[in-house]
Structure 1
Amino acid sequence: MKTILVPTDFSKNALHALQYAQELFKCERACFFVIHAYGEEVYGAYKTVAKEKIDELKEERKAQTQKKLDQMVNSVIGEPSNPLHNFETVASFDSLVDAVNDFVDEMNIDLVIMGTKGETSDHNTTFGSYTIEVFKYVKCPVLAIPEDFEYRQPNAILFPTDYLLPYKRRELKLLGDLAGKFKSKVHCLYITDFDELSPRQADNRLFLEGTLTRAYLHFETAPVKNKVEVILEEIKKREAGMLVMINSRHSFFEDMLYRSTVDLLGLKIKIPFMVMQNIKR
């Protein structure tokens, strides 16, 4: 059974992410944990609330959060409900990243799915600060769903990689399961000006082939230029329904995050974006 964690701030895009998660795993046994972290709501009010009132405020926020979580879940269960799906709610007095990370560890979560804002939002990037923090620090694959994305099966998945990372088998298995279920083509894209792989890269590519046995793998290269532009061009060319990248120290993904290039990608990407982690769990 898949265990899926869906953080919510009770916005439209968070609800959309939960609905997408239900569709993605429609034919699988899955438990969806819907979590809201309300710690910052209490801490934010600390300056204007007397110290002796904090515990009272915590209990009040917890009750409000639980009520909203129940309402959200009830709105998506459907009639009749999917017998393969279970839903549980989590009200956490913590920050978002800490709440998500702790729950990922506690319940051995397979995937975090969260909503992102569209171009018409008040911000000028799809990936808000909370999404970026979850991408970077949560020890679990994270799938971000654009606000306006209408669900469709990911028949083609774009996977940019330089073959330098020692991939984690559990992370790749998730990708392989998704690709196998939908009979997806996985386009492994290497952005390079070199013709040959190093021995290390060749070994990692062989590991990909041996692990992603359920996927239809395609190995492709593209010349080096603006990497974000290359990715966006390949998404359009392959009609990709999902973008997958790996977050690791000194990786292209980390480079994007720290140099804010992800803002450009986040503003223009129109498909779900899954970030896999390269750390032990």
Structure 2
Amino acid sequence: MRKILIPTDFSENAMNAIKFAMDLFKCEVSEFYIMHVYQDEIYADESTLTNTKLDDLKAIVSKKSEEALEKTIAKIKAFSQNPRHTYNAISANNLLTEEADKIVDDQNIDLIVMGTKGKTNDKKITFGSHTLQVLKYVQCPVLAIPENYKYANPTHVLFPTNYMIPYKRRELKLLCEMVSPFRVELDMLYISKSEQLSVRQQDNQNFIKEELCKNKINFKIIKSKHIINTVYTYIKENHVDMLVMVNTRHSFLENILFQSTTIDELSLNLDIPFLTLQNMRRNII
């Protein structure tokens, strides 16, 4: 059974991500954890808070969160009457990354699905601050859904990699089982100044072949120094409808996430779903 965590701030973008997850996993037995954290809401205006007011405010915000979660799950059941799906509501006085990490560990979550933006919905950026925090720090694969992205079965997935890391079997299995029902074409793209692979890179490539054997895989090499622009151009020219990258040391994505405050500063303006694998050691499913 697939276990999926979906953080929500009850915005339209969050609901859009929920609908995407329901469609993507419509054929799988799945358990969804719909989570809302509200610590930031409690302390939004600290200048007016006293200890007495704080206790009252915690109770009010907690009740409001629980009621909104109940309404959200009722909406889900109204548009997705899927007997393969079950739902859990999680309301927590906590920070997003801390609560997400806790639920991931406690429930052995397979995947986090969330919108790229929340209520603030800044048009100038691709990824909001909360989404970036989860991508960077929560030890679980994350599927980020762009604002207003309408679900369609994925057909062409791009996975840029330098083959320098030993991939985790659990995460490759997740990717394989996510896309194999749709007969997806998967492009493994190596961007380098050299076309030669080392023995280590060849071993990691062979491991990918074995784990993603249910899918049609194309192994591509492009000679370039400019990773970000090459990825962006490839997406547009080849009608890619999902991007997959790994967040770990010495990976392409590490450079993108940790050398700028937002991905947008490096001009990767994504308008397709973005799956981030974390390459973490976790329980095998």
User: What is the TM-score with the length of structure 1 in the denominator?
Assistant: 0.94
In structure 2, what residue type is equivalent to 1:12? E
1:166-245 aligned at under 5 Å gives the runs: 166-245=166-245
Contact 2:157 2:240 (8 Å CA) reproduced: yes
In structure 2, what residue type is equivalent to 1:233? T
Q: Look up the match of 1:262.
A: 263
Distance, in Å, in 1 between the alignment partners of 2:109 and 2:172 is 15
Q: Look up the match of 1:279.
A: 280
| Distance 1:53-1:272 versus aligned 2 partners, 3 A rule | same
- Cα shift readout 1:94-148 (whole Å, capped 9, x = no counterpart): 0011011100111011100001239x94341110111111001111100000012
Distance, in Å, in 1 between the alignment partners of 2:142 and 2:204 is 22
User: Where do 5+ consecutive residues of structure 1 fail to align?
Assistant: none
Q: How far off its partner does 1:202 sit?
A: 0.5
Q: Look up the match of 2:61.
A: 61
Secondary structure of residue in 1 paired with 2:249? coil
In structure 1, what residue type is equivalent to 2:159? F
Q: How far off its partner does 1:158 sit?
A: 0.2
Distance, in Å, in 1 between the alignment partners of 2:23 and 2:48 is 43
Q: Name the Cα RMSD after superposition.
A: 1.8
Q: How far off its partner does 1:163 sit?
A: 0.2
Secondary structure of residue in 1 paired with 2:114? strand
Q: How far off its partner does 1:78 sit?
A: 2.1
- Cα shift readout 1:12-36 (whole Å, capped 9, x = no counterpart): 1000000000000111111111101
Contact 1:141 1:276 (8 Å CA) reproduced: yes
Q: How far off its partner does 1:254 sit?
A: 1.3
In structure 1, what residue type is equivalent to 2:276? V
| Distance 1:80-1:129 versus aligned 2 partners, 3 A rule | closer
| Distance 1:29-1:266 versus aligned 2 partners, 3 A rule | farther
- Percent identity reads 42
| Distance 1:121-1:58 versus aligned 2 partners, 3 A rule | closer
In structure 1, what residue type is equivalent to 2:103? F
Q: Look up the match of 1:26.
A: 26
Contact 2:246 2:279 (8 Å CA) reproduced: yes
Distance, in Å, in 2 between the alignment partners of 1:158 and 1:98 is 30
In structure 2, what residue type is equivalent to 1:18? I
Aligned length: 280
Distance, in Å, in 1 between the alignment partners of 2:171 and 2:205 is 15
1:68-147 aligned at under 5 Å gives the runs: 68-78=68-78, 81-117=81-117, 121-147=121-147
Q: Look up the match of 1:157.
A: 157
In structure 2, what residue type is equivalent to 1:269? L
Distance, in Å, in 1 between the alignment partners of 2:110 and 2:192 is 32
| Distance 1:162-1:80 versus aligned 2 partners, 3 A rule | closer
Contact 2:247 2:277 (8 Å CA) reproduced: yes
Distance, in Å, in 1 between the alignment partners of 2:231 and 2:80 is 40
Q: How far off its partner does 1:266 sit?
A: 6.9
Secondary structure of residue in 1 paired with 2:43? helix
Distance, in Å, in 2 between the alignment partners of 1:58 and 1:266 is 40
User: Where do 5+ consecutive residues of structure 2 fail to align?
Assistant: none
Distance, in Å, in 2 between the alignment partners of 1:34 and 1:139 is 18
Contact 2:164 2:250 (8 Å CA) reproduced: no
Distance, in Å, in 1 between the alignment partners of 2:9 and 2:19 is 15
Secondary structure of residue in 2 paired with 1:208? helix
In structure 2, what residue type is equivalent to 1:248? T
Contact 1:179 1:214 (8 Å CA) reproduced: no
Distance, in Å, in 2 between the alignment partners of 1:116 and 1:16 is 10
Contact 2:25 2:178 (8 Å CA) reproduced: no
